[in-house]
Amino acid sequence: MLLTAILATAACSLAPGSVLDSGTQDNGGITVGYPARTVGLPGPIFGVFAPGAVRFSTTFTSDASNLGATNEGWVVQGDSLYYRTYSIDTMNEFVPGLPNLTQRIGGGWSNFSSLEVSQTTARTTAYGLRNDGTLVRWSVIGNTWRSTGSATGFAAVKSMALISKTATYDTFLANTRGGALYTIHIPTAASMRPIVKPVRTKTWQGFEKLLASKCGNYGTLLVGIDKDTKTAHTYAVGRANGAATVISHVSSSAGRFGAPVYFRWGSTPDIDALNGE
C-alpha cells in the first residue's frame, strides 16, 4: 500500500506548541495533519513564563479532561533547567488551588542548544545537545537527573525530533546545517553508542526546528519550521530505513511560524507512542 494511503487511513495530526516573546505558551497556530487540514486549537495560555525567559523547551504533555487540562514539561531559562506544571480550565485560565509550579532542576545549561525527554511508562530519559556537538543523556527520576553517557560528533545538527521511544532504544530524526537528514538510534543499554544513518543528503538546512508525532503503525508525521520565512512544512515519513526511507511532502503553512521557541504538544506516556523506526 502507498504511504499516502496508509497515512490517510490513520488521519494523524501534530500540534506544534510555541512560547511567544511575552512568555505566553501557545499551540503554534494550527494542527497539521494528514489528510492536510488546518484546525484551530484552544489557546493561548497567558502568564506561563516570564517574557523572553525561555530559550528552548521539551515536549509538553497535556492531560485533558472535561474540566480543562494539566500541562507539564521542562524548559531552559538562561543557565537553568526548570520543570513547569500547571492546570487550566476550558477557558485556558489557571485553576486556583491546583499545582502551578516552576521548579528549578539545576544549572549549567548555557552551553546547550536543545533538550528533549523520552517518556514511557517504564522510564524517563533526557537528551541534551551541547554547543560543542556533544549529545548528553540522563536518566530522570522525579527531579533527579543522573548522567548515563554522552557521545561526540553532533556539532552540525540544527534540530532533533524524537520519532521512536521503545523499551530498548530511542530514535531521533535530525537535520544539519549542511542540509542532510539523519536518524540517530540510541540504545537504552548502559553504554551510549548512537548509530547514525543518512536519510537525505541535501535541502533540509532551512529548518530551525523539527517536530514529530506517530502516524499509522510505523510512520511519522514530521513538521519542519523555518523561522526565517515563518513557514511550517509537513511531511509524511515512512518507517525509518536509511536512504530508503519514504518521505512525502504533505502541506505548507506560511506566515505564522515566527515564535522564538517551538515544542510538541504530546500526551501522557501511556498513549503517546512513537515508533517511527
Q: What is the pLDDT of residue 12?
A: 78
Average pLDDT over every residue of 64-92: 93
* pLDDT digits 0-9 by tens, 209-232: 999 999 888 899 999 999 999 999
Residue 237 CB burial class (10 angstroms; 0-12, 13-18, ≥19): buried
What's the confidence (pLDDT) of residue 33?
58
Residue spans of the domains in the chain: they are 3-266
Q: Please, which pLDDT band fits residue 263 given cuts at 50, 70 and 90?
A: very high
Confidence of residue 2 (pLDDT cuts 50, 70, 90): very low
Integer Cα distance of 80 and 124 in angstroms: 19
Cα–Cα distance between 107 and 235 in angstroms, integer? 36
C-alpha cell at 270: 501511556
| 129 contacts: CB under 8 Å, gap ≥ 6 | 112, 113, 114, 115, 135, 136, 154, 157, 160
* Closest to 125 in 3D by CA, of 183, 186, 72: 186
Q: Is 56 a residue whose pLDDT tops 60?
A: yes
d(CA 112, CA 268): 26
- pTM beyond 0.75: yes
Between the ranges 11-25, 26-40, 203-217, where is the mean pLDDT highest?
A: 203-217
Q: What is the mean pLDDT of residues 107-133?
A: 97
Say if residues 80 and 97 touch (Cβ distance below 8 Å).
no
pLDDT at 96: 84
CATH code: domain 3-266 is 2.120.10
For residue 68, give the C-alpha cell: 480543562
For residues 233 and 252, give the distance between their C-alpha atoms in angstroms, rounded to a whole number: 4
Closest C-alpha to 78, from 54, 94, 102:
54
What span, in angstroms and rounded, lies between the C-alpha atoms of 208 and 195?
23
Amino acid (one-letter) located at 182: Y
- Helices assigned H by DSSP within the chain: 3-10
CB atoms within 10 A of CB 8: 14
Q: What is the pLDDT of residue 65?
A: 84
